Amino acid sequence: MARTITRNISLALLIAFCIVLSGCGRTHDKNSINAAPYPDHAYLAPTPPMGWNSWNIFAKDIDEARIKAAADSMVSSGMRDAGYQYLVLDDAWMAPERDEKGALQADPVKFPKGMKDIGDYIHSKGLKFGIYEDRAYRTCQSLPGSFGHEQIDMATFAAWGVDYIKMDSCSAEGNGRLSSEDYAIYRQYIEETGRPVVLSISDFGNAAWVWGGKETSQLWRTGWDIRSWMDSVYACGDCSGGSHRSHPAFNGLWQFAGPGYWNDPDMLQVGNLKIEDEKVRASANKAHFGLWCMLAAPLMAGNDLPKMTDTVRDILTAPEVIAVNQDERGVQGYKVFIDDKLEVYNKPLTDGTTAVLLLNKGRKKADITVTWEMIGLSRKQPVRDLWERKDLGTFKDSFTAKGLSEHGSMMLKIGKKGKPIPTAPPVPLEKYTITRQGVTSLADLYYAWRDHSTPVYNRTFGGNPIRIDDKTFKKGFGCKSKAAFMFAGTERADRLMGTVALDESYQGDNEGRFRIFNEDFFGNRVIWDSGKMTKDSPAKEFDVELEDYRCLMLVFEGRNTKDGKQANDVLGVFADPRVIADD
């Protein structure tokens, strides 16, 4: 009974939170991003999924013995009881050929007893079974992908007892389908099997939060592959929690996650970090894990579990740190302070307290202070150290972590239990989505995704006024090759207009090309293409009708005129790009 009440309250909270935060509770209308009803499958991951994945430590070298040993260790190390549920076999579990009926089969040498046997073993340990596939003809390791076999593959996985699918995107440009279409196909065939299966979008961070990943999936990558060094860990963290992938106005992607769908900065490298000094290594492991917990990131461990040291095990199973990640309010933490390499993150929790991470990403020893003002509190507040599981006392107005060395961090719980404290205000929909009647200048909106170099608003890349043929344009973007950025759309837009030219300050001989896509690169849906332009080409205007588009991606690329290779020095301008909605 008590359980049911708790569940109902959390469900109500979850739905209310979701409606407030992102408008996803609305029915399909023309004015909301990712306009879809609250997805039924959100129950599959009410909190960020936790588990272990084979890729970071073993890459292609997986086999029955290694996977079963990982399953055993998940139990004996206490990882399962700490919340790690999914054991995911990444790429290279499959045979190079399908069977005579077209079904996938296990690599006969690595997994002689087949995948059902592996699934049964994983389940017998009280764990859930996860598997990898790719939505193209081939996986990233050139093994059979699922394109053209979507239905049979989802049925095969269901028959093997699969509970989680990581669906990758290598070579998916060849599919001729938008990412949103691809993942909808998998969700549909999964649903037809009747088996509850988590679907994980693995696409190197190509804007699932903009094009509607939550309509089909429970998590999506926000960046490139994580590596086993801290620069990479922090860069991946900043794809979710910083401005690597979105306009700084968003302060990370926190407003795009919530119970049921999560930003995934990639799998954990805790235990794999190549750092000589043992103390620094332990600090780095904690910094990485604490950051992922604050970012409400899926916690997919990626280390060699049977060989894990006690220090690493204690980090991966730290109960109060994990509780922050698994808090059912599902707020993704966001930065409230940054001073070069020193950062403070805040994650308001269900019980009225808030989790705070003080993190030194630099090499120099430093003190870091969180003030109550940064986190929406005041007066005297109790502070608890979540790594040490120790109350530190009551503090007035602020708390300072003293002498944090390289990768040093503190993870705290601050405040008294009570009414949940508000989050920071999310960026309103109309500030990043084409919703208006009449003319919307794209330069009045924040891009919700970007890759490569950052476009400059209303100026050339070098910071000068945008001028083409003696005419000055107040609005537009200055770009340096290569630049790609995306605006969220709705169906309410009829035309897209603007002018492009190479920046008049560019005097080189290389070529530039401007393209506008519907959705991300994988779909290959080019709405407009300038073709090759040089400094001598006249400006080109575009005026195209828009139909069935979800988001607009603007791309500027430079090429070496002689050999066609990418040239990074070419400058171009999108002048007055605008969308017109007639009704």
Rounded to the nearest whole angstrom, what is the least distance from the CB of residue 320 to ligand GLA in the complex? 29
Q: Which is nearer to ligand GLA, 220 or 542 (CB)?
A: 220
Residue 444 touches ligand GLA, criterion: CB under 6 A: no
Active site residue 61: no
Question: What angle is formed at CA 130 by the lines to CA 110 and CA 349, rounded to 5 degrees?
Answer: 145
E strand or H helix that includes residue 283: helix 278-294
The rounded distance, in Å, linking the Cα atoms of 517 and 400 is: 48
Rounded to the nearest whole angstrom, what is the least distance from the CB of residue 162 to ligand GLA in the complex? 16
Q: Which is nearer to ligand GLA, 201 or 356 (CB)?
A: 201
Nearest residue to the partner ligand GLA, using Cβ = 140
User: What's the start-to-end Cα distance of the chain, in Å?
Assistant: 51
Say which of 63, 120, 225, 351 is annotated catalytic. 225
- Give the residue, chosen from 90, 343, 519, 576, that forms a contact with ligand GLA under the rule CB under 6 A: 90
- Which residues are paired to 391 by β-bridges? 384
- Give the residue, chosen from 202, 218, 353, 454, that forms a contact with ligand GLA under the rule CB under 6 A: 202
Contact 250, 238 (CB under 8 A): no
Helix (H, G, I), strand (E, B) or coil at 479: strand
Contact 84, 51 (CB under 8 A): yes
* Length of the chain in terms of residues written: 583
Rounded to the nearest whole angstrom, what is the least distance from the CB of residue 169 to ligand GLA in the complex? 8
User: Phi, psi at residue 309, to the nearest 5°?
Assistant: -80, 165
Closest C-alpha to 414, from 433, 426, 401, 398? 398
- Token digits of residue 369: 């202070």
Rounded to the nearest whole angstrom, what is the least distance from the CB of residue 163 to ligand GLA in the complex? 18
Q: Considering only residues 149-188, where is the footprint of ligand GLA by CB under 6 A?
A: 168
CB hemisphere CA count around 344 (13 angstroms): 22
Say which of 91, 168, 182, 327 is annotated catalytic. 168
Q: Which is nearer to ligand GLA, 55 or 449 (CB)?
A: 55
| In the block, residue with structure tokens 């269901």 | 158
The rounded distance, in Å, linking the Cα atoms of 369 and 107 is: 53
Rounded to the nearest whole angstrom, what is the least distance from the CB of residue 511 to ligand GLA in the complex? 31
Q: Which is nearer to ligand GLA, 162 or 533 (CB)?
A: 162
Q: Which is nearer to ligand GLA, 167 or 386 (CB)?
A: 167
Q: Considering only residues 36-65, where is the footprint of ligand GLA by CB under 6 A?
A: 55
Contact 352, 420 (CB under 8 A): yes
Q: How many residues belong to the site for ligand GLA (CB under 6 A)?
A: 9
Q: Which is nearer to ligand GLA, 206 or 454 (CB)?
A: 206
Q: Which is nearer to ligand GLA, 55 or 147 (CB)?
A: 55
Q: Work out the widest C-alpha separation in the chain, in whole angstroms.
A: 75
- The gap from C-alpha 233 to its chain's centroid, in whole angstroms, comes to 13
Q: Considering only residues 128-147, where is the footprint of ligand GLA by CB under 6 A?
A: 132, 140-141
Q: Considering only residues 422-441, where is the footprint of ligand GLA by CB under 6 A?
A: none
Rounded to the nearest whole angstrom, what is the least distance from the CB of residue 225 to ligand GLA in the complex? 5
Q: Considering only residues 453-512, where is the footprint of ligand GLA by CB under 6 A?
A: none
- The gap from C-alpha 20 to its chain's centroid, in whole angstroms, comes to 21
Rounded to the nearest whole angstrom, what is the least distance from the CB of residue 28 to ligand GLA in the complex? 31
Closest C-alpha to 377, from 330, 335, 418? 418
Active site residue 72: no
Q: At what angle do helices 150-160 and 179-193 cross, to 10 degrees?
A: 40
Binding mask 317-356 for ligand GLA (x = CB under 6 A): ----------------------------------------
Q: Considering only residues 224-263, where is the footprint of ligand GLA by CB under 6 A?
A: 225
Closest C-alpha to 264, from 23, 406, 86? 86
| In the block, residue with structure tokens 């605006």 | 487
- Give the residue, chosen from 32, 45, 80, 91, that forms a contact with ligand GLA under the rule CB under 6 A: 91
Active site residues: 168, 225
Binding site for ligand GLA (CB under 6 A): 55, 90-91, 132, 140-141, 168, 202, 225
